[in-house]
Amino acid sequence: MAVQGVQPFQMFIMVVFLAALVTIWLIVKQYSGRIRNKLHADRRIEVMQELSLGTNESLRIIRVDEQEFILHAAKNGPASLHPLNQLVTQSLPQQTGIESLLSASNSQAPVPEEDIPAFLLKKKTRGR
């Protein structure tokens, strides 16, 4: 039984198939953002940013229906959720402009401890 080599028509089919795969890959790569937005248009919860505070703790900024929250999650403790818009507006000065930021009259009194979320008051201890 004689073994036949690769026919020119088979080479042509292989080149056309690979060209079609590369073309589809380029189209998907170019329009991946639009495709992803259409597939996930009904999502109401979105993780905006994540920050690791250590091996056991993390902070996440989450958007739910155009409202932003900060989520503190610990490995062995309960998670806490705080509205981010309230935290930001409480810490921003009422006056605007560079003069108000540089003036001594704009200094605010420290926030009482009961207004600060508990996870911000905890001090990290390593190896103790």
Q: Name which of 43, 48, 42, 20 is nearest 28 in CA terms.
A: 20
Residue 123 CA to residue 65 CA, distance in Å, equals 33
By the 10 Å C-beta count (0-12 exposed, 13-18 middle, 19+ buried), 70 is classed as buried
Whether 120 has a pLDDT exceeding 70, the answer reads no
Three-state DSSP state, 66: coil
CB atoms within 10 A of CB 84: 17
| pTM for this model (two decimals) | 0.40
Q: Which has more confidence, 89 or 30? A: 30
pLDDT digits (tens, 9 = 90+) for 60-94: 998 888 888 888 888 888 888 888 776 555 555 55
Residue 108 has pLDDT above 60, yes or no: no
Residue 81: which of 98, 103, 59, 102 has the closest Cα?
A: 59
Percentage of residues of the chain with pLDDT beyond 70: 64
- Is the pLDDT at 118 greater than 70? The verdict is no
Mean pLDDT of 8-29: 94
Residue range 29-44: average pLDDT?
A: 80
Separation between Cα atoms, residue 46 and residue 40, nearest integer Å:
10
In this structure, are residues 93 and 108 in contact, taking their beta carbons and an 8 Å threshold?
yes
Residue spans of the domains in the chain: they are 8-39, 45-105+112-121
Query: φ and ψ at 97, to 5 degrees?
Result: 105, 160
- Quick one: pLDDT at residue 104? 47
Of 128 and 34, which is predicted with more confidence?
34
